[in-house]
Amino acid sequence: MKSEVHIIGAGLAGCCLARVAAENDCKVILYEAARHVGGICREKEKEGIRYHPLGPHVFHSHLKERTDFFKRFTDVVKYVQRTKTLVDVNGKTGYVPWPPTQESIEKLDELEPGIKQKILDEIAARPDELDMTNFETCVRTLVGDTLYELFIKNYTEKFWKVPATTLSSEWAPKRMDVRPNYDDRVFKDQIQFMPDYNKFFENVIDHPNIEVRYKHSMKKVDAYRLAEEGHIVVWTGNLDKLRDTDKLKYTGPTIHVELHKQEHYQDFPVVNYPNTTHDYHRITEYKKMTGQEHPWTVITKEYPGRSRMYPINTKETAAERERLVLELAREGKVIPYGRLGLYRYLDMHIVVGMGLYFGTIVGKWDKLSEDERVDACRKLLEIE
């Protein structure tokens, strides 16, 4: 008899897990509150122009297994993410590559002669070890004060809506650096592309062992009812919906979508706005990412918002996340999973990696010992 796995939430995490579990001879039932699957990665169209209504999602990875899995189900366009930042140096503005490269430093010096040497002196004076007290102390010791103030501080605080000193330093070294060359790729991974996400979701759930129940808004009580009935239950919603706590904090942008009756809106696919003169922190023009041709164009502007889309990672929230996830693992009834369920800020390739791992064992969850369940959830918290 096949194991029956009930997955609440059909975003990227739920869909990838469903496919791998189905291919490992599980019967999977996906519950989705919306009329379609895909979560924050699902695309929309305006006048035939594809765009991402919840912000741009570029697939990148250094692991072939993950990218091969993704490419099984969709078409992709080769696309390497390059981002510009509109910097303001004493009232002089210019578009400068992000993350900082040698070109960035040279362009800054054109705006403010002498700033190049100041930046180089700060880089040379960096300590041997990063100050991991918090996000700000870590990044200042990583890139120096000048680059931090120009590129990072305001952008970070616009997006997360908290002081940078309150954020965890855990992920800063993975995202921030100064390139000692002219490599202006945002991501260093050799494999990068822009997928057709809707096609991916359509195909990844197309399996005889997968059933999708749309417009099913499932609550904690529903998840535990399924578990009490003897089913394996995976929860991809917010972690604090499973356990009462006021210690987990979230943020998410408010995104305005604009259709412009012109071929191009900006010179670059993505422009960051770390200054305080613009309310928004990023503008994305999607044709420059998807390779579509159209006489008009679609952009999104991202403003600080109040959604619960992204976990805010501080030392306090990280400790609470681990406590709750492992408590649920020991209990053994409902499994927290994905970006919201595990309270993790996840790149898409990590979500795929989690599915490739957990999809092979989720059907055996009811047969695992308490220690084995805890080990599995610890691994989910650590997969990179």
Q: ∠292-98-66 over CA atoms, to 5°? A: 60
Nearest alpha-carbon partner for 84 in 104, 67, 111, 62:
104
pLDDT tens, residue by residue, 71-84: 999 999 999 999 99
Secondary structure class of 144 (helix, strand, coil): coil
Judging by beta carbons within 10 Å of its beta carbon (0-12, 13-18, 19+), is residue 137 exposed, middle or buried? middle
Secondary structure class of 36 (helix, strand, coil): coil
Q: Cα–Cα distance between 331 and 342 in angstroms, integer?
A: 16
Give backbone dihedrals phi and psi of 136, rounded to 5 degrees, phi first.
-65, -45
Q: What is the pLDDT of residue 269?
A: 97
Give backbone dihedrals phi and psi of 60, rounded to 5 degrees, phi first.
-145, 145
Residue 383 DSSP code: -
pLDDT tens, residue by residue, 132-168: 999 999 999 999 999 999 999 999 999 999 999 999 9
Q: Are 227 and 319 in contact (CB under 8 A)?
A: no
Q: What is the pLDDT of residue 1?
A: 52
Q: Which helix (H) or strand (E) holds 350?
A: helix 348-358
Q: What is the pLDDT of residue 57?
A: 95
Segments of the chain scoring below 70 in pLDDT: 1
Tokens (6 digits) for 39: 């979560």
- Domains detected in the chain: 3-37+205-249+310-382 (3.40.50.720), 83-175 (1.10.3110)
